[in-house]
Amino acid sequence: MIRRHYNNAQLGETARRSRDEIYCPEIELMKSVLACQLKDYLDGIRITGDSNKALEVRGRARTAKAWIEDRGKYSTSYVFGFEFICKIIDLDPGRLRKKLLLIKTEKDANEIKKRDFVI
């Protein structure tokens, strides 16, 4: 479990994490949400054809892209917003967003898949 230190939590301040622990169910859930959105986004780039399945995948990809691109209050203050999750798991949301939005082709998306990528 990741140890959390709450300072004035009742006032709405965020929790700080120490790095000496590696597991916390809430953090794992946030990582899963991020991984699912990234998979949906990349699958939308990879998919070809006009079948019902392809249309469904493209729809999820559009939703994931909107979630990644969101820079509003929802993204920064909602517990499952892109920027909130990135900050909690120590990723730079701007840098990750920029790298993801540069992926335009199936070849680019497949290169990501080949890497041993762990969040």
Q: Which residue has the higher pLDDT, 81 or 4?
A: 81
Please tell me the distance from the alpha carbon of residue 33 to that of residue 102, in angstroms, as a whole number.
21
Q: At 95, is the pLDDT very low, low, confident or very high (cuts 50, 70, 90)?
A: very high
Domain hosting residue 9, numbered range: 4-108
Q: For 30-81, write each residue's pLDDT tens digit.
A: 999 999 999 999 999 888 888 999 999 999 999 999 999 998 887 888 889 9
Whole-structure pTM value:
0.71
Cα→Cα distances 114→8, 14, 80, 109, Å? 44, 35, 27, 9
Number of domains in the chain: 1
Q: At 9, is the pLDDT very low, low, confident or very high (cuts 50, 70, 90)?
A: very low
Residue 119 domain-assigned (yes or no): no
For 31, how many CA atoms within 13 A lie in the half-sphere containing its CB? 13
Residue 115 domain-assigned (yes or no): no
